Chains A and B, each alone.
Chain A
Amino acid sequence: MMFSRIKQFTRLAGLTAIETIRQPICLLLTVTCILFVAVLPLLLAHQLGEAGKMVRDSAFSLQFIGGLLIGSFAACSSISSEIRSGTAASILSKPVSRSLFFLAKFAGISAVMIALCTAMALACTISTRTASFAYRIDWWAASPLIALCILALFTAALTNYFWNRPFASDAFGFLIAAVIIAFVVSAFVGPDGKLTSFAAHYNLALFPVSLLITMAVLVLTAVAVSLATRLHIVPTLSLCSALLLVGLISDYLFGRHAADHAVAAFLYGIIPNWQHFWVVDALNGGGSVPWIYIGWAGLYALVYLTGVLALGIATFRVMDVRA
C-alpha cells in the first residue's frame, strides 16, 4: 500500500515537473532571468566599483520575481488548467487520493523551482565576480556563462530537429546544465586567465542568501498551488504578487502597530514576512549570514509551507472537480 502510494507520488510529481518545463512560458522566463543575470555585468561596467553590488542585488531580486512568476504559471497550468480540461478528473478517478495529487503537484513544481533557483544562484555568483573589478570586466567569468547558455539553446534546437525531441524541456535542461558547467569551468580560472584552486575567486557567501530566497520562493509556490485549485492564472498571479508586496513591507504596515492593535498583530503574524528571507544587505562590507539564522529562517519557511499546504489540501478535498 505504502509502496504503491510512493510510486504514484513519484510518477505524478515527475510528470508535473516535465509538463512544467515543457511549457514555453517557463522556458521564456528562465532564459530571460539567466541571460539577464549573465549580461548584466557588461551593461553595468564602469559603475565606479558599485557594479558588483548592483549585479548581486538585481540577480537576487530576479530570482525572487522569476520564482514568483514561474511558480504561479506552473501552478495554474498544471492544476487549474488540468481541472478545467478534465485531465485531473481522469487521474482522480483512479485510486489517487486528492491529498496525494495535490502534494505531488506541489513537489513537481518545487523541483523545477529548485533547479531554477540553483541556476540563478550560480549565475549570480559568476556575474558578481565578473563585475567585481572597477573599470574592468572579468571575461574569464563572463564568457563561458554567456557562450554556454547560447550553446544550450542551440543544442536544444538541434535535438528537436534531428530527434524530434520537445524543444522547451530540452532547452530548460541544457540551460541548467550550461550554468553548472560554466560555474565549474570559471571556478578553475582566475581573472588573469591563470589556473587557480577551485572557486578561489567566487564569493561563496552568496549561496546562503540565495538559499533563503529559494525558501521564500517555495512558500510562494505553495500559495500559488493552493490558489490554483480554485482560481485561474490572472487572479492567482495577482494574489501572489500582492502577498509578496504586502509581505515585503509587513514590518512597516503591521509590525509597527502589532503591539497595540490585535488586528495588526494578527496580520503581522499570518502574512509571511519576506524581509526575513532577504538578507543580501548582510553581505555588504564582507559580512556573511550566520548558519543559525538560516536554520531559523528555514524553520519559519517550513511552518508556513506546512500551514499553506494543509489549508490547500483541506479545501481541495471537499472541492468539486468540475471538468
Chain B
Amino acid sequence: MSDEEKKTDVAVLRAENLTKIFRDFWRRPKVKAVDGISFEIRRGEVFGVLGPNGSGKSTTLKMILGLLFPTQGSLEVLGRSPKDVGAKSRIGYLPEESYLYPYLTAEETLKFYGSLFKLSDKEIRSRTDQLLEMIGLTHARRRTVGEFSKGMARRIGLAQALVNDPDLVILDEPTSGLDPLGCRQVKDLIQTLSDRGKTVLLSSHLLADVEDVCDRIAILYNGRIQAMGSIRDLLEERHRVRLTFPELGPESMKAVLDNIRRIAGTEPDLDHPRKDLERFFLDVVAEARKQYEQHSGVSGSAGFAGFLSSDGTREKHPSKE
C-alpha cells in the first residue's frame, strides 16, 4: 500500500465491549442490536463494517456519533466521549437515508449545514460551490431538494457530511442509491480522503465496494463481530498465484502450460481475464457522454472539492482543537 507511511498508530476511535439493547415504551428490553463488540480504528485507515440487514451496523455508527447511548461498554472518539459536542466539529456523517429539508434548495441546504460550524460566510459559500461541483449538481443548485431523485439527494447528503472538512468521516452505506458513476466517485473520494490522512468508517453490504476501498473490515452478524482484519489478510490466497500475459500462439501456449505442469506438478486453471461490469459500465457511459453534452440528472463532475483534496497541514495534528 502506497500510503502506508501516512497511517499512524494513533487510535481515532476505540470501542470496548460496546452493547446496545433497544427497549420498548415500558423500558423492557426488545432487541440486542449490538452485542459486546470491541474494535479500534487508527488514523488514516478506511474501516468497513459489513453485515447483512439488521446486523447492527447503523446502530454501531449512531452510537459513535452520540445519537444513541450504549447500554454497556465504552467508546472514545477522537480522544473524547461521543457525548462531547466539541468533537463533532471534526466529524462528518452521512446518515443511512438522507432526508433533507424538502423546501430548501441544494445550495441553501449546504449553506445551512455549513453555518452550523465555525466557518466564515465566505468560506461557507466557497465550500458550497466546490461541493456542488464535486457532486455534479451545480446545475441543480436552485432546485428544491424535495424534488430530487434518491441518488441526487444522496449526493447532497454526502456533500453535507464533508462541508467541515472532517478528520473522521462516517458513512452509512455511502453508495446506496447511487449510479455506478457515483459509486466510483465515492470510492475515489474515500481514497483521496484517506490519502490525506483522514479516517473513514463506512458500513455497507455491497462487498465489491468494500473490497475496493477498505483497508480493514469487520463483519457483523447479529450484533457481534464474526471476523475482523485487513482485506489482504482475509482474502489473499497466499498459496496460489495468478499470471497474466498477452494471448500467445497455440504452440507457445502449449509449451508454457507443459512447463507449468512439469514444474508444479498440477493442472493450471486457464481463462481469459474479464473486465468487471463496473469498468465496462463506466466505459460505456463515458462514451455516451461524449455524444450528449447535457442531460437532466447528474452531470459529470470535475474532480474533488478543492478544500478536500488540497493537502492541508492542519489535519496532521489531530490531538488539538
Contact = CB atoms under 8 A, between A and B. Distances in A.
Contacts of B148: none
B118 A4 contact: yes
Interface string A10-28: 0110010011001000000
B116 A11 contact: yes
A8 B116 contact: yes
A163 to B, nearest CB: 12
Contacts of B160: 90
Contacts of B157: 90
Given A95-B85, A322-B68, A166 B98 contact: no
Contacts of A7: 115
B69 A318 contact: yes
B103 A323 contact: no
Interface in B65-110: 65-69, 85-86, 88-89, 91, 93, 95-101, 103-104
A90 B93 contact: yes
Given A93-B88, A94-B88, A97-B85, A8 B62 contact: no
B39 interface: no
A90 B98 contact: yes
A85 interface: yes
A86 B95 contact: yes
Contacts of A12: 116
B89 A15 contact: no
A11 B117 contact: no
Contact of B113 (A85, A94, A97, A320): A94
B281 interface: no
Given A86-B99, A166-B103, A92 B67 contact: yes
Main secondary structure of the interface of B (DSSP, over half): loop
A7 B170 CA distance: 25
A86 B93 contact: no
Nearest to A81: B99
Contacts of A96: 85, 88, 116
Nearest to A4: B118
B243 to A, nearest CB: 48
Nearest to B91: A93
Interface in A72-98: 85-87, 89-97
Contacts of B115: 7-8, 11
A323 B62 contact: yes
A321 interface: yes
Residue from the set B65, B99, B160 with the largest chain A CB neighbour count within 10 Å: B99
B116 A85 contact: no
Nearest to B94: A90
Contact of A94 (B62, B103, B117): B117
Residue from the set A4, A94, A323 with the largest chain B CB neighbour count within 10 Å: A94
B85 A93 contact: no
B86 A95 contact: yes
Contacts of A94: 88-89, 113, 116-117, 164
Contacts of B66: 92-93
A320 B23 CA distance: 10
B98 A22 contact: no
B62 A15 contact: no
Contact of B103 (A22, A85, A87, A92): A22
Contacts of A19: 101, 103
Contact of B95 (A97, A169, A323): A323
A225 B77 CA distance: 31
A321 B116 contact: no
Nearest to B23: A320
B112 interface: yes
A81 to B, nearest CB: 9
Contacts of A11: 112, 115-116
Interface in B102-157: 103-104, 112-113, 115-118, 157
30 contacts: A11-B115, A15-B101, A15-B104, A22-B103, A85-B97, A86-B96, A87-B100, A89-B62, A89-B93, A89-B95, A90-B95, A90-B98, A90-B160, A92-B66, A93-B66, A93-B67, A93-B170, A94-B89, A94-B116, A94-B117, A94-B164, A95-B117, A96-B85, A97-B85, A318-B69, A320-B67, A322-B67, A323-B62, A323-B95, A323-B97
Interface of A: 4, 7-8, 11-12, 15, 18-19, 22, 85-87, 89-97, 166, 169, 318, 320-323
Given A4-B118, A19-B101, A321-B62, 16 more contacts: A8-B116, A18-B103, A19-B103, A86-B97, A86-B99, A87-B99, A90-B99, A93-B93, A94-B164, A95-B88, A95-B89, A95-B117, A169-B103, A322-B62, A323-B96, A323-B97
Which 4 pairs show the lowest CB-CB distances between chains A and B? A85-B99, A93-B93, A95-B88, A94-B116
